[in-house]
Structure 1
């Protein structure tokens, strides 16, 4: 065999080994950190599913395997932000993750519903986690909107998969669906809590008067604010942080789709309500790793969007801004 061919073969083996070692590192990260993100652990059933069942399902489902690699890479990048190789690999894993997830959704059945559901959840968590690195002086508000826009599509996927999952007595995703705080299939029940005290004046404040709320618009804003009441209750009652974590993830999935459009339109009241959501997140004690500094960064980005053109900061932003001040510099 010619020497050039031998060198080429060796280089290929080295490259393959490098990829295998990276993936082994990411699987270890998934098992060590992603599966157990809470200081107070969830119930043993849920932890067993994440630690044992999810990796086993992933070995037979490319969409879930690449979702695991992608979110684990995001975790690694949290402490190694200048690791260009990991960033490149994460981008590739994300692309492969989305490719195989679309294919799996097209072929949704009892055989792959668990994989589709776990993948959708990991995509959603990873999307939030990546705000930590994407919110910067050049891309603040846009990064927040990008995350928020993932919600409606993910919500549809969860709804489709949940229908199949409920019919399968052997489903592993059921353990997550039934774990506290259990997902309520009646969407309206997620908006039954009172608006948090810090946010009660928003619908009758200056920005609401300037916008001139119709009854339909007011209902959209009120529903969104009532959802904040679910997070507020978990904080006040000092529930384990996995309660608030699930409610935080539910925000983009469950709030009215029209609210997302209001944020895209940069309606001041919509931006303020979103800032109140992030301020609520910043109050959660012992949050999971994926929260990071995203809440504080998002409030600053929304403040800049509201202050574009030298506008005076609205009074309605006082509470979120005070939360940022109390958190100190980041």
Structure 2
């Protein structure tokens, strides 16, 4: 799939639905400048511009300050772990009343928001644009995403949470930033659910928020408590929930340039990872086959469950990982594709595999370590302020500590891959 016009027009979606603008802008859910007899959007696109025969009062409600929704009561803020947010990550469900009340932000909260917005523009955007080959994606990060965020709280707080991830990887990171990240991440999830519950939700803002939520879920693995160790099943769960809002191609408005760029970027990945029933053969790299075949009867005798179905979940996950690893070896793989692969592989793994990770089955832990080892080879870790590969290294070492003795021999491969990427 390719964008037809090489010259990229300015993105026009991302605003809240117009209530006093022309009928065309209201139907397209874009912001109208309300110029009569023809607004700027209709004039630019050559559309018929019509206004309601009995327009509403021209007075508009003043936008709330940037920080009006920034703080929620301490009782409703989850602990500073991904796991604490996992029970709230089924994004399509409505918000509970517990989170629907807005509490005014304090001045310290306002300063933190400004600090993280500054960090996004001064740290996240330059880092992103330095490693992404696509000028179009640079514009998304530098221009489109901040612009749309000011009109949509779900995207705004997802942006702030992701920005905190970058700051925490620098000498500027401290406990205040860590707490703010947890709060803003929780609020982003809440606002995302609220947005999706509205039939007229903005598809572009919601999708961009989902991307940042999924990316933040991985970044928040850094700094979490590793003793006693709990496998990162919540990272898989948050990513899976976030990406469920990914729009179908037919649902994308014609002038929604950012979403069409997103589809163009991820389509090759989805096409490779999707399968038709009975028409797909899993391909597992030779280096992963020992994980797939080792002590199979013993596992299912101990944990129970359908052996055939369970092995298929493992095989599909290793197939996804094989594809990811081979893509990294390709010289023509765009860097921005790897950005999405990190969250897409977490989103695409089977339900049974996530359950096996929660059960701490050795095979599932080994595959998780292998996924993290491949991620350690990408440049994308720089987006998380993790130039030292802290996230994959800490998780892999923690997995090694709890893995049963008879499985330790299979840890050699992910440990060697991690060492080669760090070295």
TM range (shorter): 0.7 to 0.9
Counterpart-to-counterpart distance in 2, 1:55 and 1:103: 20
- Answer yes or no: is the 8 Å Cα contact 2:249–2:263 preserved in 1: no
Q: Does 1:96 align with 2:187?
A: yes
CA 1:81/1:193 → structure 2, altered by over 3 Å: closer, same or farther?
A: farther
CA 1:149/1:236 → structure 2, altered by over 3 Å: closer, same or farther?
A: same
CA 1:249/1:66 → structure 2, altered by over 3 Å: closer, same or farther?
A: same
Residue in 2 aligned with 1:56?
A: 147
Q: Does 1:244 align with 2:244?
A: no
Q: Does 1:296 align with 2:296?
A: no
Deviation at residue 324 of structure 1 after TM alignment: 4.2
Q: What does residue range 101-112 of structure 1 map to in structure 2 within 5 Å? A: 101-109=192-200, 111-112=201-202
Counterpart-to-counterpart distance in 1, 2:260 and 2:124: 19
Q: Does 1:125 align with 2:210?
A: no
Residue in 2 aligned with 1:174?
A: 260
Q: Normalising by the residue count of structure 2, what TM-score does the alignment of the two structures yield?
A: 0.65
Counterpart-to-counterpart distance in 2, 1:186 and 1:231: 10
**Larger relative helix fraction:** 1
Counterpart-to-counterpart distance in 2, 1:245 and 1:278: 14
1:30 alignment partner, SS class: helix
How big is the alpha-carbon RMSD for the aligned residues of Structure 1 and Structure 2? 2.9
**Per-residue displacement from partner, 1:290-315 (whole Å, max 9, x unpaired)?**
264211111112112214xxx34432
CA 1:141/1:241 → structure 2, altered by over 3 Å: closer, same or farther?
A: farther
Q: Does 1:202 align with 2:202?
A: no
Residue in 1 aligned with 2:360?
A: 266
Residue in 2 aligned with 1:319?
A: 413
Q: Does 1:215 align with 2:305?
A: no
- Answer yes or no: is the 8 Å Cα contact 2:233–2:358 preserved in 1: yes
Aligned counterpart for 1:232 among listed residues 325, 329, 332: 325
Deviation at residue 20 of structure 1 after TM alignment: 4.1
Deviation at residue 250 of structure 1 after TM alignment: 0.6
Counterpart-to-counterpart distance in 2, 1:177 and 1:132: 29
- Answer yes or no: is the 8 Å Cα contact 1:155–1:254 preserved in 2: no
Residue in 1 aligned with 2:120?
A: 30
Q: Normalising by the residue count of structure 1, what TM-score does the alignment of the two structures yield?
A: 0.81
CA 1:215/1:305 → structure 2, altered by over 3 Å: closer, same or farther?
A: same
- Answer yes or no: is the 8 Å Cα contact 1:141–1:305 preserved in 2: no
* Structure 2 segments unaligned to the other structure (5+ residues): 1-104, 301-305
Counterpart-to-counterpart distance in 2, 1:200 and 1:217: 15
Larger radius of gyration: 2
Deviation at residue 166 of structure 1 after TM alignment: 3.2
Deviation at residue 37 of structure 1 after TM alignment: 2.3
Counterpart-to-counterpart distance in 1, 2:218 and 2:382: 11
Residue in 1 aligned with 2:47?
A: none
How many pairs align? 305
* Structure 1 segments unaligned to the other structure (5+ residues): 1-14
CA 1:41/1:285 → structure 2, altered by over 3 Å: closer, same or farther?
A: closer
Q: Does 1:138 align with 2:223?
A: no
- Answer yes or no: is the 8 Å Cα contact 2:339–2:380 preserved in 1: no
